[in-house]
Structure 1
Amino acid sequence: MEKTDVLISGLGPVGAALAVYLGRLGISVMAIDRDTSVYPMPRAAHLDHETMRLLHLAGGAEAVSQASQPLSAYEFRSRDGSLLMGFKPGEVTTATGFPQSSMFHQPTLEHALRARLGEISGVSARLGHALTSYSASDDGVIAGIAGPHGAYDVEAKYLIGCDGGQSIVRRIARIELDDMGFDEPWLVIDARLKDGRERLTTIGLQHCDPRRPVTSVPMSPGRHRWEFMLRPGETPEEVVGDEFIDDLLGPFVDPASVEIDRRAVYRFHAVIAKEWRKGRVMLAGDAAHQMPPFLGQGLCSGTRDAANLAWKLAAVLQGRADEALLDTYQAEREPHVRAITEMAVFMGKVVCTQNEKEAAARDRDMLSKPEGERFVVMPDTIGLASGVQRGDVLAGTIFPEPWLETGEGRKRLDDVAGLAPILLFRDGGEAAASSFRAGGGFAMALSDPSLLDEGDRVKSTLADSEAVLVRPDRYVFGRGEARNLLAAWNAYLASGTSPA
């Protein structure tokens, strides 16, 4: 029987990112997927700057950056075109250096992640192989897998279900879903622009017309997506016809100027798994949660799952942390996912109003506010509420990424630190830094001449503190005296409880 540290069921972008993270941390991984190739059509469309940073750690951001375009605004407009609410990028460069919002091409990301997988020893990707069953014990999991040459078993210490909304891992574990009360059918149309045209617009639009709500968003250069809410009585078979689609597209674009790549009816759900971990079995991405697309946070949330889970699994498997640390996975990630999902549901309800009187009341209420209150800077997503030092206003926020001057030229801090926790310190913290390095951390003095702190972002983060400790998933763990931070970090690894 074959053995591996971690078996991942599902090799979409979340499963692939998780496999890369674990492989880079020295964990043996077998990742399986029932399909034999990357799905050729884009599904997810949006990445925020924090997720781009995490994907850079997985080796996918450079390819995505070359096949994406920033979003200049995201607007919700009434039937007559009045601005109900909207979001625009901030004027200041993001803390990560990536665009605040990027509209991207998902297959490009998946190919890049799978190429990175192939470069990591100890990681095996098996396409055309599907999980059929498993039994879990306190010591691990025995999984049954169907491959192109027959069935076989694999023994793993942990099984991670990254296998989508219909997750077989979740079903076998009998994990129930918390339904947040949103379930609407939409027709999704992905199109390529003809004659070399790169874009119709750089603005994402929610057309809040009660006769038929419509989403219109640019994708990667040369591509565009429309989503049309189905009316009562319309069937999936009816709405995917050429003539029907041409009528839908007519008010927005000349149908002859685009080539349709995909037409499909989806139900936009809002559900969250009640358990993300059952012993040696865990869920990530759509297997753990699904949200309406109105915030573009589905893949972003799954990538955050992978980044949170990977370093904890590695720490436990390598004996640097107690298994109780894995209980923090859902405790830290679910509040983040739930808050984002609730906001996406709110936005969806604004968009999906089909009652004329309710839509008119919605418009009057929203338009009664000054435009300055309706059109605001895109907010960053919320940070962590646990797993960080209490009482520190910056704990749980994303740490800004500086550049380093190396013998090979300028590099991002993440390129040098990898997936290790980071300690940046002022004079006086060297003793704690040495201990931190011995435990696998990356430590650097703020006075190091190779640190290029443009805009003094790192100095501003430290403020008057001696040091700042950053988690491997790039959230600020806390600030203070270096030795106290290290003690709190070690206590967190040992117990999984948030430091005081």
Structure 2
Amino acid sequence: MSPHPGTEAGSYDLAIIGFGPAGATAANLAGRLGLRTLVVERDPDVFPRQRAIAMDDQALRVIRDIGLYDEVTARMHMGVTARFIGVDGRPILTTPTRPSDECGDPLANFFHQPWLESTLRGGVTRFDNVEVLLGHEGRYLAQNDDCVTLGLDAVGESVPLRQVRASYVLACDGGSSPTRKSLGVAFAGNSYSELWMDVQAKLRRPLAYPPHFDFICDPDRPGVRCPCPGGYFRWEWRINAGETPEQMLAPENIWRMLAADGITPDDIDIHRTWTYTFHVRKAAEWRIGRVLLAGDAAHVMPPFAGQGISGAIRDVANVVWKIGDVLAGRADDFLLDSYQSERQAHHDFMTRRAEMFGRIVMPPNRTVARTRDVLLRSLSRTPLGRYVVEHLAQPPALGPGFSDSSRTRNRAVGHLLKSVTVASPGIVLHRIDAALGPGWAILGLNRTPSVEVPQHILAAWETFDPRLITIRPGTSVVGDGEIGDPVGELWDWMRARSIRFAIVRPDRYIHSAAYHAADLPLPVRQRPSATRTGAAAGA
């Protein structure tokens, strides 16, 4: 049921503009929360070109949480190794493929984007409360204290179709976002001067290539070589000064470049080709009243870290539950101010990492390239170097927002709860996210939160309707209000952080944690005076 049971026809809790990976994930999240949701997408079909190709462990955790993990991973290459190839043709740096400590899935997982989008869209059909309108554009018209008004236009038609109202709008309409532009939000940043070309091929027979994603770090012609799911393969190369896209994408030139890589027409069929330029841009405001920007509409980064879709999925996972809590009356509207302030720290970190990888891939000359190769190879042989490589993908904590901000806060705050296998009553073994359900939770390690957490703290959190759960290590036999930790994974994780009590948000980030229940904080109830709606970046 919608949090607004009195919602009239033509009025929605949430309108999502754009039905790509960000919009489709948001629609699944909203559907699960029971929000009456409208999704508007201008393209009648899934875009056929494979653009993004990878997502990380945290994005996969969200996919698992919306119940589509098996369908998505069934056609995914999980745990792909990324290698940086030096000027002598040998690797200078290799990224790890092991599952992450936090989420339990590998750090680099490759997909075919049309398949991914089709699966995410298919998941939305599970929810009667989500309406999808394809072949239409959603135009921002106005907003007031109660709702946003959108105009819905059929693509190719000159007469506007109708207007609808939504309590909130989530714009997932890409880097050129018409919504962002109509609101006059600055999209500052830079574009790389280099133009790149992309060749997507379908294999006719297996290639004698290593099963790795390779960055070709040659200053004369940097590139990418990537085996992809579904029998696809991609090559990307920089277009150098003095070369034109028309020349470089000419079939005879593409086959010449592929021949240098040992590829002939007997090996592949060229499926699609295109050119692109890298951008580093970020919207000044991700929240403008009742309109919020997500994914490429809020930020774009170079592709070297493979974080485009992962960042977009993190965005919607952060903001949709907050919209749900506000609409359900569990939290005040100012909760939405925390969206940008929490998310941009991680986005900025990943952008810096992508730019660092870009500098490794595209050195200015061969002298710098050879020096790079010697230094990185030497560093990778040392314990310090191996440690750095192992932790390249470790994200920072959430930025300041809706979590414990005290100076004495536990170091787990702002990080994800470790994804472990637990037991629910009836000896049902599953991941802890499924055991916790879609809302808030207060956990006690061999402690009973309903008894041991002071009543004034429980009363302060009551509006969020948290589940009060006791963790029982070393067993799968548990009763109501308990989850079993049969092999002690959660026991080890909490004890290493001196935690006996934790308050866990719906997106599985730790709001607060403490050894003594009396040290758990109260939720913030009003907007800080220094923060205004739509200006979370300065909070």
Deviation at 1:478, TM superposition (A): 2.3
Contact 2:514 2:520 in 1 (8 A): no
**Residue 413 (structure 2) pairs with residue 395 (structure 1):** yes
Deviation at 1:362, TM superposition (A): 3.6
- Report SS of the residue matched to 2:50: coil
1:70-219 equivalences under 5 Å are 70-90=78-98, 94-147=101-154, 150-180=160-190, 182-195=192-205, 197=206, 200-219=209-228
| 1:458 aligned residue | 490
Of 167-176 and 389-398, more deviation after overlay is shown by 389-398
| 1:33 aligned residue | 41
- Report SS of the residue matched to 1:182: strand
| 1:298 aligned residue | 308
Q: Which amino acid in structure 1 is aligned with residue 79 of structure 2?
A: L
Partners of 1:216 and 1:452 in 2: CA distance: 45
- Report SS of the residue matched to 2:488: helix
1:345-394: CA deviation from partner (whole Å, max 9, x where unpaired): 12112212343444344445445535335553253222313233343112
Q: 1:238 to 1:440 in 2, by over 3 A?
A: farther
1:435-450 equivalences under 5 Å are 439-447=464-472, 449-450=477-478
Q: 1:316 to 1:36 in 2, by over 3 A?
A: same
218, 223, 238: which one aligns with 2:232: 223
Contact 1:462 1:479 in 2 (8 A): no
Contact 2:349 2:395 in 1 (8 A): no
Of 310-319 and 93-102, more deviation after overlay is shown by 93-102
Contact 1:429 1:481 in 2 (8 A): no
**Residue 436 (structure 2) pairs with residue 413 (structure 1):** no
| 2:508 aligned residue | 474
Q: 1:302 to 1:454 in 2, by over 3 A?
A: farther
Q: 1:249 to 1:454 in 2, by over 3 A?
A: farther
Contact 1:186 1:227 in 2 (8 A): yes
Q: 1:99 to 1:404 in 2, by over 3 A?
A: same
| 2:362 aligned residue | 352
- Report SS of the residue matched to 2:414: coil
- Report SS of the residue matched to 2:317: helix
| 1:67 aligned residue | 75
Partners of 1:258 and 1:437 in 2: CA distance: 60
Of 220-229 and 161-170, more deviation after overlay is shown by 220-229
Q: Which amino acid in structure 2 is aligned with residue 38 of structure 1?
A: V
Deviation at 1:31, TM superposition (A): 0.6
| 2:5 aligned residue | none
1:192-231: CA deviation from partner (whole Å, max 9, x where unpaired): 2223x49943322111111100111222252222211111
Partners of 1:132 and 1:88 in 2: CA distance: 44
Report 1 or 2 for greater relative contact order, CA contacts < 8 Å, sequence distance ≥ 6.
1
Of 455-464 and 16-25, more deviation after overlay is shown by 455-464
Q: Which amino acid in structure 2 is aligned with residue 385 of structure 1?
A: G
Contact 2:322 2:336 in 1 (8 A): yes
Deviation at 1:421, TM superposition (A): 2.1
Partners of 1:457 and 1:5 in 2: CA distance: 39
- Report SS of the residue matched to 1:79: coil
Q: Which amino acid in structure 2 is aligned with residue 209 of structure 1?
A: D
Q: Which amino acid in structure 2 is aligned with residue 389 of structure 1?
A: D
| 2:264 aligned residue | 255
Partners of 1:30 and 1:367 in 2: CA distance: 52
51, 54, 62: which one aligns with 2:62: 54
Q: Which amino acid in structure 2 is aligned with residue 306 of structure 1?
A: V
Contact 2:191 2:277 in 1 (8 A): no
Contact 2:397 2:415 in 1 (8 A): yes
Q: Which amino acid in structure 1 is aligned with residue 503 of structure 2?
A: L
- Report SS of the residue matched to 1:420: coil
Q: 1:194 to 1:418 in 2, by over 3 A?
A: farther
Q: 1:247 to 1:460 in 2, by over 3 A?
A: same
Contact 2:14 2:166 in 1 (8 A): yes
**Which structure 1 segments of 5+ residues have no match?**
none
Of 392-401 and 266-275, more deviation after overlay is shown by 392-401
**Residue 447 (structure 2) pairs with residue 427 (structure 1):** yes
Of 207-216 and 102-111, more deviation after overlay is shown by 102-111
- Count how many residue pairs are aligned between Structure 1 and Structure 2: 494
Contact 2:513 2:520 in 1 (8 A): no
Partners of 2:427 and 2:112 in 1: CA distance: 30
- Report SS of the residue matched to 1:337: helix
Q: 1:242 to 1:282 in 2, by over 3 A?
A: same
Q: TM-score, normalised by structure 1?
A: 0.91
Partners of 1:117 and 1:169 in 2: CA distance: 23
Of 160-169 and 357-366, more deviation after overlay is shown by 357-366
Partners of 2:520 and 2:128 in 1: CA distance: 31
Q: 1:261 to 1:211 in 2, by over 3 A?
A: same
- Report SS of the residue matched to 1:158: strand
Contact 1:402 1:454 in 2 (8 A): no
Partners of 1:37 and 1:370 in 2: CA distance: 45
CA RMSD of aligned residues (A): 2.7
Deviation at 1:317, TM superposition (A): 1.1
Of 197-206 and 130-139, more deviation after overlay is shown by 197-206
Contact 1:132 1:144 in 2 (8 A): yes
Q: Which amino acid in structure 1 is aligned with residue 477 of structure 2?
A: P
Of 77-86 and 209-218, more deviation after overlay is shown by 77-86
1:216-259: CA deviation from partner (whole Å, max 9, x where unpaired): 12222522222111111222222222211112222334232122
Of 73-82 and 30-39, more deviation after overlay is shown by 73-82
Partners of 1:200 and 1:364 in 2: CA distance: 25
Identity %: 30
1:234-253 equivalences under 5 Å are 234-253=243-262
Q: 1:494 to 1:220 in 2, by over 3 A?
A: farther
Partners of 1:307 and 1:444 in 2: CA distance: 23
